[in-house]
Amino acid sequence: MEWDDFSAIDKYLRPTYFFRTHLIEQINARELAPNTAKRRMSNVVGLYRFLMTDPRLGFAPANAPWVDRSVGIRYRDSTGFNQVAQVTTTDVSIKAPRREDAWDETIDDGAKLRPLSVEEQKALIAALKRLDNLVCNLMHLVALFSGAREMTVLTLRVRDFVRPSSEVRQWPYKLRCGPGTGIDTKRDITGVYLTMGRELYEMLHAYAVSEQARRRRSRSQLGEDPFNYLFLTQHGQPYYESKEDRNVLRDTGMPLRRSARDGRRLREFIESAVIPEVRKTLPSFQYRFHDLRATFGMNWVDHATRVDGSEGVEASRSSYLLAREQLRKLMWHKNSRTTDNYLEYRERVHHIERAQAGWGSHLIGFLQGL
């Protein structure tokens, strides 16, 4: 079947509908996940829509590749008001409905993140020490101690860590991130600061001025430029290219790489070395680097919301609200509802476990009495 042949009167013999049928068959045969099929169909629709709307291409199929329809999606904005967004969908789109799992132990923070337990954190740190990969160790520690996202950790710059701690005026150390700093933030948010304690800063400073770091910088394009990346590979390549650096390269007219450096090297090391090493202690262990962000959030919540039994109700509520606002700022949350996901996480998990255990005991007792 030719990709541009839409001459068939029967719509199911046109390429888009035919491909959708093929994807549905793969889903039913469990050869393809619904979300993957949905994404593939969406990519195909995007391709044809581009071909039909770009006047330079002049693509005009003999019959419609799909039928558009407008639907309204209700959502709550950052101020708490209900809004309705109008979106366009097609009759070839594949639906992949999601249902919330009551036993889901993740936190919704832009993605489903799983906080690591204390036992898992200990096993992870011990495994990193055994692997003796200093750069990878420091990346993990930055995420664990500051809650920074992968893109932020991997775009830290040498200039921000060359001063010895004795010359830093205020602790904890506050590092401005976002557009204009060379340190990437999600959706280019500005006016945010990465906060880290003296111990972590001293480790990063020691690495920044170390022979290993200098050797890697000598193999990079920027060399000893203070704006060089703090973390580089053995070959002097960045683990992650900031948006500003990619834009500068694009403006020079130099040929761009087919794929930008986006942290893949770190993720490959985690899959091939870190996880297998941790599994020597915890056989079922699994994590993603981004889970360290949620781990930082829960570590902070567990220590910041400890309530003294002598405190009154109003004092407890005041402590809760203060912790909520502080955590929102530390993790750069635009919507405080995302922060609430952290503060309510322990209670949600414990509540369902208590309910399940209580009802289970009741049911077992009932069965034993028959």
φ and ψ of 169, to 5 deg: -75, -30
Which of 79-83, 337-341, 362-366 bottoms out in mean pLDDT, i.e. has the lowest? 362-366
315-344 confidence digits (pLDDT tens): 556 666 677 777 777 777 776 677 777 666
What are 268-306's pLDDT values in tens digits? 999 999 999 999 999 999 999 988 988 888 887 777 666
Q: Are 222 and 228 in contact (CB under 8 A)?
A: yes
More confident call, 44 vs 258: 44
Predicted pLDDT of residue 365: 62
Measured distance CA(79)–CA(169) in Å, rounded: 37
pLDDT, average across residues 116-122: 89
3-state secondary structure the chain: CCCCCCCCCCHHHCHHHHHHHHHHHHHHCCCCCHHHHHHHHHHHHHHHHHHHHCCCCCCCCCCCCCCEEEEEEEEECCCCCEEEEEEEEECCCCCCCCCCCCCCCCEECCCEECCCCHHHHHHHHHHHHHHCCHHHHHHHHHHHHHCCCHHHHHCCEHHHCCCCHHHCCCCCEEEEEECCCCECCHHHCCCEEEEECHHHHHHHHHHHCCHHHHHHHHCCCCCCCCCCECCECCCCCECECCHHHHHHHHHCCCCCCCCCCECHHHHHHHHHHHHHHHCCCCCCCCCCCCHHHHHHHHHHHHHHCCCCCCCCHHHHHHHHHHHHHHHHHHCCCCCHHHHHHHHCHHHHHHHHHHHHHHHHHHHHHHHHCC
pLDDT digits (tens, 9 = 90+) for 171-222: 889 999 988 888 888 888 888 888 888 999 999 999 999 999 999 999 998 8
Question: Is the pLDDT score of 309 beyond 80?
Answer: no
pLDDT above 90 coverage of the chain, percent:
41
pLDDT at 204: 94
Q: Who contacts 179 (Cβ-Cβ below 8 Å, separation ≥6)? A: 185, 188, 190, 243, 244
